[in-house]
Amino acid sequence: MTKLLPLLLSHLFVVLFFTTFTEGQIVLSNLYVCPKNGTNPVEIPVGTTVGGTTNVTIAMSPTCTLCMLIRISSLTGNLSSLSMQDWNMVPVARSYLNNSWENVAGPYVDKLKITCGSSNCTLAIPQLAGVPAPSHFVLLATNRQVSTKEKVARFLEQVTFGPTLDDVNKFNISRSLNGQCATWVRQQMDSNITVPTYHREYFRARADNPMFNAK
């Protein structure tokens, strides 16, 4: 998931170049849906009274998609500025892989309340003090298909101290991974197939100290 964030911020940079946010672009709806990858963001109207709360219902992200709710604030008041230094971008919440919306690190992490149903969530967005004006809340999305080989590498990263390319290539990417991963685990636990490596034995074989060589 961390690899998707740079892609999202890169898209946001392009959006700021070509999009001027105005009241006319607000999408008034009972349910907000993440925009398709590569399309303009969806702006969400949020109140400006400090201490107030705006309840917004947003659909969970589609499969293989990261959707983020971000607050964009102009630091200079110049909405046509093309300099990233003139904009303050604050993450508010995220939904990925069709999962529920969740809090993210930042000023909203302990203030944003989220209630989810089967396919969408209601976010109670608080109006924080000290937020630069004008500010806009937008939905941005990016998607990425994970290849079978990448799934194998991820699995081996989780169950070993670090796989090699040869380890990854031993899997047949044209077959189901569930059975292959289960077989791999069973083979790791079978000493007749996989000879165990003991840390103490490894250390003593390489320690140049008579004390460790004593029987």
Nearest to 142 by CA among 33, 37, 63, 2: 37
CA–CA gap between residue 166 and residue 51 (Å, rounded):
57
Cite the DSSP H helix spans in 147-176. 148-159, 165-169
Same domain, 179 and 102: no
| One domain for residues 15 and 67 | yes
pLDDT of residue 66: 92
Same domain, 127 and 189: no
Residue 134, preceding peptide bond in cis (omega within 30° of 0): yes
Tell me, yes or no, whether 112 and 51 share the same domain.
yes
Are 101 and 203 contained in the same domain? no
Structural domain includes residue 212: no
Segment-wise mean pLDDT, segments of 10 residues, the chain, 215 residues: 46 46 42 86 78 89 91 77 78 94 95 94 89 79 87 93 91 90 93 86 77 57
**44 secondary structure, DSSP code:** E
Q: What is the pTM of this model?
A: 0.62
pLDDT at 8: 46
Q: What is the pLDDT of residue 106?
A: 93
Residue 100 lies in a domain: yes
Domain with 30, as residue range(s), is: 4-143
Q: State the pLDDT at residue 131.
A: 77
Residue type at 124 in one-letter notation: A
How many domains does the structure of the chain reveal?
A: 2
- For residues 155 and 132, state if they share a domain: no
